[in-house]
Chains A and B, each alone.
Chain A
């Protein structure tokens, strides 16, 4: 009985924390006010009080995780909405998504090997640049831990907002296309939200680049798992 109440309490806290902390980012859009960072920190702080019991936490909140499936299906709409953009700029988008994804996988693998990280951690790092639902799919395909990947995706998102702004200032980028793709391929949803602050065109390119990079990774995951065996 007590356990069930605790699970329910966690669900309520997760929902309440999310909806309370989300408006903060809209009022003060900085990388450290992103709900990506503030909500997990709040939950971690409460975890110290209530006990960090993940099975009890996930019992009622797993319904939320399940919703990632329909959210993935909903990606069809941005692709459809920006089909004109794909038709006009497919060579540049293709180059960016292919090159960026290759760099994401190669850099994670090489750096992790060089740092001597665990094999499961190394595999979980490979999909960190793409959007969470797809990253978790890819991660389980290539022998990673999907939950660890979800954490790495979050860290990438928070870091990506800050690093993206830094790079925009120092790279000689002339097109909105490049500025958008930088955020979309490098920092998935978090970067896309930031790209919309830079400009509408950057935002559209970012969300499109994010979905395309994610799909590319999902389609390549079987080959990758074969390669990394």
Chain B
């Protein structure tokens, strides 16, 4: 296990692109194993969330150094948009529904997003200032 990290460090330094793909492959394998486990054991947690939780535990325990997964993870997160665009195109199957309710849906999303953003920001600011006043 340890030599793998050493090799990954070396690879990241010498061949960053190869290291990135190797790390992506490692994360995919890890996710696949977790997904299979979650399905077989009928766990209530989806495989991808289980994989994230286990990975976080491994990182916190120091069993996996963050440096040896950083490139792969950053790539997966940065390209996430590409991964869900195909799912979005399913609107082709829901066109009649969207033609009938599209404007109302848009209104709900716009008003809802303003409410969510306002609530979140004001709450965070409130608690932050309250803590600051108590500390100072």
Chain A interface (Cβ < 8 Å from any Cβ of B): 14-15, 18, 35-36, 39-40, 43-44, 47, 52-54, 57-58, 61-62, 64-65, 67-81, 83, 89, 91-93, 95-97, 99-100, 103-104, 107-108, 111-112, 115-118, 121, 125, 128-129, 131-134, 136-137, 145-148, 150-156, 159-160, 163-164, 167, 171-175, 177-179, 181-183, 185-187, 189, 209, 215, 218, 222
Contacts and interface: CB of A to CB of B under 8 A. Distances in A.
Interface of B: 24, 27-28, 30-31, 34-35, 44, 46-49, 51-53, 55-56, 59-60, 66, 69-70, 72-74, 76-77, 79-95, 97, 101, 104-129, 131
Nearest to A149: B87
Contact of A91 (B60, B88, B91, B131): B131
B86 A171 contact: no
Nearest to A67: B83
17 contacts: A18-B81, A18-B82, A58-B90, A64-B86, A77-B73, A80-B59, A91-B127, A92-B123, A92-B127, A128-B112, A129-B112, A137-B46, A148-B91, A151-B88, A152-B105, A186-B120, A187-B113
Contacts of A14: 82, 85-86
A65 B84 contact: yes
Contacts of A108: 108, 112
Nearest to B57: A76
Given A95-B123, A156-B113, A171-B121, A36 B52 contact: no
A75 B31 CA distance: 12
B86 to A, nearest CB: 4
A74 B124 contact: no
Contacts of B92: 47, 52-54, 57
A181 B122 CA distance: 10
A173 B121 contact: yes
Contact of B109 (A18, A61, A159, A167): A159
B48 A68 contact: yes
Contact of A103 (B59, B95, B106, B119): B119
Contacts of B111: 107, 111
